[in-house]
């Protein structure tokens, strides 16, 4: 029984970095910000995985993201994550905190169209996740991530879509390598003007996120009880002013296809603030 | 859960400050409209309150500009020129391009 619980716990820990990477996308993902603009984004994310045998892993994740518009067509973004993890195995709990890996990427404006009725933009991204995290919170691998983002805005309606692929462990020659990750996200929001002139707005948001994680490979063989695909449906809300945006999201796993025995994902909550300088 | 409550509190506090600031910005525009030459430009591509700041920052870097106020709902940028200064429209259009927006016609 203890071995089974330990196996479930290990599988959950292996995949939490992937969960942290699959962020809510209620942002202008395909629209690069203005030149010389700084944007600071921080969130509190609560997530957990568990089973019916009182084995559970809970995480509070605090990502801090700093973006800067180097040019109107190029944005550099850096993200650092602080993680607080509590694990419960057969009634025994322990808590540990630490910094996760640093992720740096560039977003490049590929296409942008602004008309009186529609704004549309497409922006690819390319980035590297460095194994800078503390023991137990780092993937210990150099990971390459490429994405393609698209956004459309009509003033009242807005929608985003993105697809991203992460090649894990692109430089080491270790025999055990984490599986690659594919994420596909889509979001739609409607903007209500609260003050009559457009300086304060509120937006209900609905997001859909699909995440596929391939199994860990060891000496070319797939490691059992690793790899999964999950589909989240996420209702939320966003409140925007000229320099600050507050957002909240509840991520509901509507489909979770786990390979072998793994802890099941529970509902996640996400609260965030973006400060626009 | 304590962290969650603290996060909610901080987010709420920042939001209240943000709303206050936005309302002050709105009042400021009326106050300053009696100073200097006022120019109004059509700007397309702004779709939320957060879009304003990047454009306003860039326009304010133009030496001849005293104040810049953008509004996504009206798709307009209001520029107040410093008294006695000469403002080249092309500098404003360049700032609009750097903000990733598209300039329409100059209304005033």
Structure confidence at residue B31 as a pLDDT band (50, 70, 90): very low
E strand segments, chain A: 38-50, 56-71, 74-89, 92-99, 102-108, 111-114, 119-130, 143-153, 157-167, 176-177, 181-190, 192-193, 201-213, 217-218, 221-222, 228-240, 244-258, 264-265, 268-276
Please report, to the nearest 10 degrees, the dihedral formed by the alpha carbons of residues B27, B46, A71, A185 taken in order. 130
Which phi and psi (to 5°) does residue B10 adopt? -65, -45
**Confidence bin at B13 (pLDDT 50/70/90):** low
- The ranges assigned to domains in chain A are 2-276
Domain B35-108, CATH number (from 3.40.50.1000, 3.40.50.300, 3.30.70.100, 2.40.30.10)? 3.30.70.100
pLDDT value of position A30: 83
A43 pLDDT above the threshold of 80: yes
Rounded mean pLDDT, A153-162: 90
pLDDT range class, residue B53, cuts 50, 70, 90: confident
Residues paired with A206 in a beta bridge: A188, A235
Of residues A247 and A17, the one with the higher pLDDT is A247
Cross-chain residue pair B3–A269, CB shorter than 8 Å:
no
Whether the pLDDT of residue A7 is over 50: the answer is no
pLDDT at residue A45, rounded to an integer: 93
**Structure-model confidence comparison of residues B52 and B90, the more confident one:** B90
Chain B's closest residue to A201, CA to CA, is B49
CB proximity under 8 Å: B 35-54 to A: 44-45, 47-50, 52-54
pLDDT score, position B7: 52
- What's the rounded Cα separation, in Å, for the pair B36 and A220? 72
From chain A, the residues in CB contact with B48 under 8 A are 28, 153, 158, 191, 201, 240
End-to-end CA distance of chain B: 54
**pLDDT > 50? residue B100:** yes
Per residue in A176-234, pLDDT (tens digit) is 788 899 999 999 999 999 888 878 999 999 999 999 999 988 877 888 888 899 999 99
**Entry pTM:** 0.81
Would you kindly state where each structural domain of chain B is located, as residue ranges? Answer: 1-32, 35-108
- B45, B53, B97 member nearest A276 (Cβ): B53
CATH topology of domain A2-276: Lipocalin (2.40.128)
What is the model's pLDDT at position A195?
85
Q: Is the pLDDT of residue A51 over 60?
A: yes
Work out how many CB contacts closer than 8 A connect A with B. 135
Helix (H, G, I), strand (E, B) or coil at B64: coil
Q: Model ipTM?
A: 0.81
**pLDDT per residue as tens digits for the range A236-275:** 999 999 889 999 999 999 998 888 788 888 899 999 999 9
Is A11's pLDDT higher than 50? Answer: no
Instruction: Please compute the mean of the pLDDT values over residues B2-19 and round it to a whole number.
Output: 51
CA pair distance A266, A159, nearest whole angstrom: 26
Verify whether the Cβ–Cβ distance A276 to B50 is below 8 Å.
yes
How confident is the model over B14-43, as a mean pLDDT? 59
Stretch A40-50: mean pLDDT: 91
């Amino acid at each position: 029984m203890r071995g089974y619980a330990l196996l479930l716990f290990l599988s959950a820990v292996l995949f939490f970095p992937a969960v942290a990477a699959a962020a809510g996308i209620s942002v202008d993902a395909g629209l690069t910000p203005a030149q010389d603009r700084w944007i600071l984004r921080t969130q509190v994310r609560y997530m957990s995985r568990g089973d019916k045998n009182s084995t559970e892993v809970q995480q509070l994740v605090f990502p801090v993201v700093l973006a800067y518009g180097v040019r109107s067509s190029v944005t550099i973004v850096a993200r650092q994550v602080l993680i607080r993890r509590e694990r419960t195995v057969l009634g025994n709990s322990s808590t540990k905190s630490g910094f996760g890996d640093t992720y740096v990427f560039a977003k490049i404006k590929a296409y942008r169209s602004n008309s009186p009725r529609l704004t549309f933009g497409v922006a690819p991204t390319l980035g590297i996740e460095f194994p800078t995290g503390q023991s137990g919170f780092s993937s210990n691998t150099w990971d390459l991530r490429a994405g393609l983002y698209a956004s459309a805005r009509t003033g009242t309606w807005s929608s985003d879509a993105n697809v991203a692929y992460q090649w894990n462990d692109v430089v080491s020659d270790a025999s055990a390598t984490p599986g690659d990750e594919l994420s596909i996200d889509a979001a739609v929001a409607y903007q209500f003007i609260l003050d009559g002139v457009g300086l304060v707005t509120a937006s209900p948001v609905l997001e859909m996120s699909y995440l596929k994680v391939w199994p860990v490979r060891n000496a070319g063989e797939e490691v059992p009880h690793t790899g999964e695909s999950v589909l989240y449906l996420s209702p939320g809300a966003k409140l925007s002013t000229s320099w600050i945006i507050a957002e909240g999201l509840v991520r509901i796993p509507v489909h979770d296809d786990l390979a072998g025995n793994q802890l099941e994902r529970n509902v996640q909550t996400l609260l965030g603030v973006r400060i626009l300088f | 859960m304590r962290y969650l409550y603290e996060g909610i509190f901080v987010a709420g506090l920042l939001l209240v400050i943000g709303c206050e600031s936005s309302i002050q910005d709105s009042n400021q525009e009326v106050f300053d409209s009696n100073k200097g030459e006022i120019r109004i430009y059509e700007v397309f591509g702004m779709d939320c309150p957060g879009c304003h700041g990047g454009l306003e920052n860039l326009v304010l870097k133009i030496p001849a500009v005293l104040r810049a106020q953008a509004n996504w709902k009206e798709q307009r940028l209001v520029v107040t020129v410093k008294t006695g200064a000469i403002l080249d429209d092309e500098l404003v259009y360049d700032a609009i391009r750097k903000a990733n927006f598209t300039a329409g016609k100059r209304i005033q």
